[in-house]
Amino acid sequence: AQVNENVNGIRDLLSMTLTSIARDGVTLFGLLGVMIYQDPVLSLSSLVIGPPLIYTVVYLMRRVRRITRESVQINSRLIGAMQEATQGIAIVKAFTMEDELSRRIGQLANSAEHRGNKIARVSERLSPISDMLAGLAVTGVIAYSGYRALVLGQPPGAVFSFITALMLAYDPARRLARMQVGMERALVNARMIYEILDLEPQQGDAPEAAEANFTTGEVRFNNVSFRYVEEAPVLQDLSFVAAAGKMTAIVGASGAGKTTLVALLQRFYDVEAGTIEIDGQDISKITKQSLRSSIAYVSQQPYLFEGTIRDNIRYGRLSATDAEIEQAARLAQADGFIRQQPLGYDTPVGENGASLSGGQRQRVSIARAIVRQAPILLLDEATSALDNEAEAKVQEALTHVMEGRTTIVIAHRLSTVVNADHIIVLEQGHLVEQGTHASLMADPHSVYSRFHRVQGRKGLGLVDDGAPIQTPAPGPTQPIETQGIAGSAR
């Protein structure tokens, strides 16, 4: 919205400026020549209005500069608020937020209108002031030349061509002064665009960053600490190895730092302390481009782009053939529903996949990760929106995809985790336990076996620690997230 607003501001002025500078500049220059030729003394004396005029222009420019900036910011917020309200329209209606949102957007609109009016008022203030100054100059010239004709007896004829030139010069001079104020607005617009263009990415490549040269894809965290904000450490002194070609599962309550861990591995953020290595290469010393092209990622909130389903899967690897795309969709259990769409693979998905269900979006984004064929696979609760049956199928398909790849799975249901080669248990950013399912279950007091008891009772039927097994409850089961550890402490 800011870029748009600013570009419009510049464009409006540019067309006006180019014609005006050429025409008015030349006219004014010529007329000034005539005036000086006719009567140098009068010319100089009529320039006394120069300093107050310049002062006014400079003063107005300064005010316009500040209001323009505020106005662009408020207009952008207004557009942002309207977009947000539209995107969240289902929640707006469900929670009957219409009146409140109308009120807020109305407030922003009023404020934008107010700023717009203010800019107009300030810019227009120049006209009466410059008119008055010009009037004074003309009056002064007429009075003085009358005095010269009547009292000093000089011929009045020459003075008339001088006055004509002066009055003709007035219009172009006024337009040029106005344009100066307008120019100031455009300069603010241009500056604000460059402020955005000049933003530096926070995770820049190191000056001598090398290309990634991964052989097996072993991931190693060495004493990694990280925080988003000063007061709240998220990961603390975290060390583990995700073995090459194996499946490592990460479990922990909501907010434990699981998503943060995979974000750090992709360098969405830089670690605060410690290092992350892949095949012995410190990821902060290789280019982001080559690091990320070795990773396939399914994010916790699947995101689809405007375009067709096929396009969305192909974003995994632009060189993928149609056959590869369909194969990936089959593995992700997505082929069936895709073929039922009106145009099959060529069905547009709408903004952020709005025309698909949550589970369908998730399977398309899994297909996108499969088609990437990267040596490292990161799955962040990738099957959380699927029902048990679909999840089981996707899991089975993923075991083929995982073969020979280093996979880090953030598990939402513990049924996934049971088969992992290695399990890491996070609690509030600390690694509290690690091992295999069997070794962690061996200790009935471990955090991991507590998770299992809680989920087992919820009817997942995967309990093997002697807790009573119930028949599976109908409907979607709860992820461990929503139960938390408090539930198991009872």
Ligand X SMILES: Nc1ncnc2c1ncn2[C@@H]1O[C@H](COP(=O)(O)OP(=O)(O)O)[C@@H](O)[C@H]1O
What does the binding site for Mg ion look like in residue numbers (CB under 5 A)?
Answer: 258-259, 300
The amino acid at residue 153 is G
The entry of ligand X, Mg ion, none near residue 228 (CB within 5 to 8 angstroms by kind) is ligand X
In 3D space, the residue among 190, 75, 60 whose CA is nearest the CA of residue 123 turns out to be 60
The entry of Mg ion, ligand X, none near residue 256 (CB within 5 to 8 angstroms by kind) is ligand X
- Residue from the set 37, 55, 228, 303 that interacts with ligand X by CB under 6 A: 228
The entry of ligand X, Mg ion, none near residue 197 (CB within 5 to 8 angstroms by kind) is none
- Residue from the set 90, 229, 323, 486 that interacts with ligand X by CB under 6 A: 229
Q: How far is the CB of 18 from ligand X (least distance, A)?
A: 46
Instruction: Check binding of 52 to ligand X (CB under 6 A).
Output: no
Instruction: Note whether 408 and 379 are within 8 A (CB).
Output: yes
Instruction: Check binding of 302 to ligand X (CB under 6 A).
Output: no
Instruction: Check binding of 193 to ligand X (CB under 6 A).
Output: no
Instruction: Check binding of 456 to ligand X (CB under 6 A).
Output: no
Interface positions, 255-274, toward ligand X (CB under 6 A): 255-260
Instruction: Note whether 380 and 299 are within 8 A (CB).
Output: yes
Instruction: Check binding of 479 to ligand X (CB under 6 A).
Output: no
The entry of ligand X, Mg ion, none near residue 255 (CB within 5 to 8 angstroms by kind) is ligand X
Q: Considering beta carbons, is residue 421 or 427 the nearer one to ligand X?
A: 427
Question: Which residues touch 246 (CB under 8 Å, ≥6 apart)?
Answer: 406, 407, 421, 422
The tokens of 62 are what?
A: 């300064």
Q: Find the helix or strand (DSSP H, E) in which 431 lies.
A: strand 430-435
Q: Find the helix or strand (DSSP H, E) in which 477 lies.
A: none
Give the Cα separation of 195 and 284 in Å (integer).
Answer: 27
Q: Considering beta carbons, is residue 182 or 252 the nearer one to ligand X?
A: 252
The entry of Mg ion, ligand X, none near residue 139 (CB within 5 to 8 angstroms by kind) is none
Give the Cα separation of 298 and 358 in Å (integer).
Answer: 14
Q: Considering beta carbons, is residue 248 or 260 the nearer one to ligand X?
A: 260
Give the Cα separation of 73 and 116 in Å (integer).
Answer: 12
Count of residues touching ligand X (by CB under 6 A): 11
- Residue from the set 8, 107, 254, 321 that interacts with ligand X by CB under 6 A: 254
Instruction: Check binding of 367 to ligand X (CB under 6 A).
Output: no
Give the Cα separation of 66 and 64 in Å (integer).
Answer: 6
Give the Cα separation of 490 and 488 in Å (integer).
Answer: 5
The entry of Mg ion, ligand X, none near residue 234 (CB within 5 to 8 angstroms by kind) is ligand X
Q: How far is the CB of 294 from Mg ion (least distance, A)?
A: 22
Interface positions, 234-253, toward ligand X (CB under 6 A): 234, 252
Q: Considering beta carbons, is residue 133 or 411 the nearer one to ligand X?
A: 411
- For residue 358, the Cα-to-chain-centroid distance in whole angstroms is 23
The packing angle between helices 358-372 and 388-402, to 10°, is: 10
Q: Which residue is nearest to Mg ion (CB)?
A: 259
Instruction: Note whether 314 and 373 are within 8 A (CB).
Output: no
Instruction: Check binding of 67 to ligand X (CB under 6 A).
Output: no
Q: Considering beta carbons, is residue 220 or 227 the nearer one to ligand X?
A: 227
Instruction: Check binding of 412 to ligand X (CB under 6 A).
Output: no
266-269 — which CB contacts under 8 Å span 24+ positions?
A: 266/291, 266/292, 266/295, 266/297, 266/378, 267/203, 267/291, 267/292, 268/203, 269/202, 269/203, 269/226, 269/228
Give the Cα separation of 449 and 469 in Å (integer).
Answer: 15
Instruction: Note whether 227 and 249 are within 8 A (CB).
Output: no
Chain residues in the site for ligand X (CB under 6 A): 228-229, 234, 252, 254-260
